[in-house]
Amino acid sequence: MVDIIKIQYEQISKRLQQEVGLTEQQIEEKVNAKVEQLSGLISKEGAAHIIANEYGVKLFEQQSGKLQISNILSGMRNVEVLGMVRAVYEVREFNTEKRSGKVGSFLIADETGPVRIVLWGNQTDLMRDLKEGFIVKIKGGYVKENSGRKEIHLNERADLIINPPGETVNVSLSSSGSYASQSIRKNISDLNENDANVEIAGTIVQAFEPKFFEVCPQCKKRARQREDSFHCEAHGQVIPDYSYVLNVFVDDGTDNIRVVCFSQTADQILKKTKDEVLLLKDSPQLFSSVQTELLGNVIKASGRVTKNAMFDRLEFVARNATYPDPETELQKLKAEVVK
C-alpha cells in the first residue's frame, strides 16, 4: 500500500451517502458550495475530498502501525502512537438528552509534536495513575478533529499501556518549546506571517503550470537576457541553466493556501526528475495531464509562511514536500528502534 489512491467523485459521493447518511443531492450542494467558496480554484473531485475529510470519512486504505504524532491525519483508525505525558486533565461527567457518561483527556508528545488523547466511560479509570513524564503507548485509537485540532479517541477496544518496557520518547520534560528543530504541524487557518518552520497537510485542489527562468549554471543566480545571449552579473555571458517554480493550492478543510515550490520541491510534488520537468518548458500543453494527476492528492509540506504584499495574502513557501506514507514512517521508526 503506497501513497495516495485516486478516488473518483462518484465513489466519494457513495461513501458519504453510506457512512454519513447524506443524500446525493446534499453532497452535490456541499460540493458546489465548496467550489464556489474557493472561487472555482478547485475541481469537483477536490471539493469532494475535502468534504469527506471534514466528515472524517477515510478515503485511503486502512492504516495501522505506529506513527509519529505529526503524521497523524484526521480520519485515521487503528492508530498506534508512543508519547510522553505532558499534562493530565480532569475527568468530567456529562449528562445530555442523548447520553450520559464520563470523558477524560490528557496530552502526550513525541519528538514531532503534541496530541490530545480522549477517553470515554470506564476507559477514564486508566487515567487514575497517569502522571506527567510517564511514557504511554496507545493502540487502536481513532483520530478526530475538534476545533481544528487532532485528537486520538480511545473506545473500549483501544489499549492504553502505561510505561511499556523498553520504550523511550525523545522529549525532555522541562522544555515546553522543545520542538524548535522540528516543523510544527498547523492547520492552514492557524498559519500566520511569522511562521518559519511549520508543516501543513492537505489536498491539492489546484495546480498551475510551472514557471521557468534562466539562471547562471555556476552560481544559480538569475541570468538576464541581453539581445540574444544570457549574462550573469558575476560570470558574464553564460549558457543558461533553468530553475522553476510550481504553485499549487492546498486545502486542509480549515482553509486553503498557495504553496510555492521551487525546483527540487517542485520535483518532489510532481514526482519527476529535473529533465522531465524541463520538458514542460517547451511543451506546456503536457501540463494538463500532470495537473489531473495532482488534483485530489494529499500532500504534507514543511516550510515557511510569507506575506504576498501585492495580493495581501499569506503564502506557504515549501522547503520539503512529501506524499504521506504511513508504511515508510513505520519502517523508519523500526529502524530507529534497532539502532
Q: Cβ 330 to Zn ion, closest distance in Å?
A: 44
Footprint of Zn ion on residues 184-243 (CB under 5 A)? Answer: 216, 218-219, 232, 234-235
Report the amino acid identity of residue 153.
Answer: H
Looking at the DSSP assignment, which residues form a beta bridge with residue 114? Answer: 109
Question: DSSP character for 21?
Answer: -
Rounded (to 5) percent helix, strand, coil in the chain: 25, 35, 35
Q: Cβ 215 to Zn ion, closest distance in Å?
A: 8
In contact, 315 and 308? CB cutoff 8 Å: yes
- Burial code of 219-249, b = ≥16 C-beta within 10 A, e = fewer? eeeebeeeeeebbbeeeeebebebbbbbbbb
Q: Cβ 319 to Zn ion, closest distance in Å?
A: 23
Q: How far is CA 271 from the centre of its chain?
A: 17
Residue whose cell numbers read 549554471: 217
- Burial code of 311-335, b = ≥16 C-beta within 10 A, e = fewer? eeebbbbbbebbbbbbeebbeebee
Nearest CB to Zn ion, comparing residues 191 and 216: 216
Size of residue set near Zn ion by CB under 5 A: 6
3-state secondary structure 182-227: CCEECCHHHCCCCCCCEEEEEEEEEECCCEEEEECCCCCCECEEEC
What is the per-residue DSSP string for 136-198? Answer: EEEEEEEEEEETTEEEEEE-TT-EEEES-TT------SS-TTTTTTSPEE--GGG--TT--SE
Q: Cβ 22 to Zn ion, closest distance in Å?
A: 57
Nearest CB to Zn ion, comparing residues 224 and 313: 224
Nearest CB to Zn ion, comparing residues 67 and 238: 238
Nearest CB to Zn ion, comparing residues 234 and 337: 234
Q: Cβ 232 to Zn ion, closest distance in Å?
A: 3
Nearest CB to Zn ion, comparing residues 216 and 294: 216
Nearest CB to Zn ion, comparing residues 216 and 277: 216
- Nearest residue to Zn ion, by Cβ distance, number only: 216
Q: Cβ 242 to Zn ion, closest distance in Å?
A: 14
Q: Cβ 226 to Zn ion, closest distance in Å?
A: 14
Nearest CB to Zn ion, comparing residues 201 and 232: 232
Q: Cβ 87 to Zn ion, closest distance in Å?
A: 53
Binding mask 287-326 for Zn ion (x = CB under 5 A): ----------------------------------------
Footprint of Zn ion on residues 52-91 (CB under 5 A)? Answer: none
In contact, 52 and 16? CB cutoff 8 Å: yes
Nearest CB to Zn ion, comparing residues 220 and 271: 220
Interacting residue ranges for Zn ion, rule: CB under 5 A: 216, 218-219, 232, 234-235
